Chains A and B, each alone.
Chain A
Amino acid sequence: GAVVSQHPSRVICKSGTSVKIECRSLDFQATTMFWYRQFPKQSLMLMATSNEGSKATYEQGVEKDKFLINHASLTLSTLTVTSAHPEDSSFYICSARFGGPADEQFFGPGTRLTVL
């Protein structure tokens, strides 16, 4: 099946620093990638949708200057949390899709971000 990886799996950083999370589709080309945020014991909340070569579409309430998304190729999308603060601590999950809107999204294993 289609595999999506994320790196790193865990990251701890100091408040005020920036953190980059990578999402890769390993065996397929992803036309669209999605970034989600999951708080402990809660559901996944969609943050943004990105298509290769174009700007990401952010969900309402998500600060685009805070969460920078780059979808540089059909196999790689990055999420950069800029000037991270403790409230940004969360589990970030990406997914990728290679087909049309009705096709399945394949999810990465997630990245646990802890901001001290």
Chain B
Amino acid sequence: AQSVTQPDIHITVSEGASLELRCNYSYGATPYLFWYVQSPGQGLQLLLKYFSGDTLVQGIKGFEAEFKRSQSSFNLRKPSVHWSDAAEYFCAVGTVKAAGNKLTFGGGTRVLVKP
């Protein structure tokens, strides 16, 4: 079965500084990988996804992620954080089966942004 680990429960970063959120996955085949952001009162929003091809993926809101098969990682990065980036971030791995793409989520990383 697939699994996702986000080693950092909390990260505090100053506004304008760079941000990197770690994600490690376990899956027997080539995974579909996703990063979602959850803000209070709002549904999860997809930041970016990786299915195949270029291992550096660009997403919305200035985020990018790099798929590294050798490290089973899909870390999320942003060069310069804005106060509005304070939220909970979830990495997820998807599997394609008869029932459809089922997502397995990591435990999440809460990002706090200092002024």
Contacts and interface: CB of A to CB of B under 8 A. Distances in A.
Interface of A: 4, 32, 34, 42-46, 49, 51, 57, 93, 95, 97, 100-110
Interface residues of B, number: 24
Majority SS of interface residues in chain B? strand
Contacts of B53: none
List 10 A-B pairs, minimum CB-CB distance, nearest first: A107-B43, A107-B44, A101-B101, A101-B96, A43-B105, A109-B43, A44-B105, A43-B107, A101-B100, A32-B100
Majority SS of interface residues in chain A? strand
Interface of B: 32, 36, 41-46, 49, 51, 90, 94, 96-97, 99-108
B108 A43 contact: yes
B56 to A, nearest CB: 19
A51 B102 CA distance: 13
A110 B88 CA distance: 15
A104 B46 contact: yes
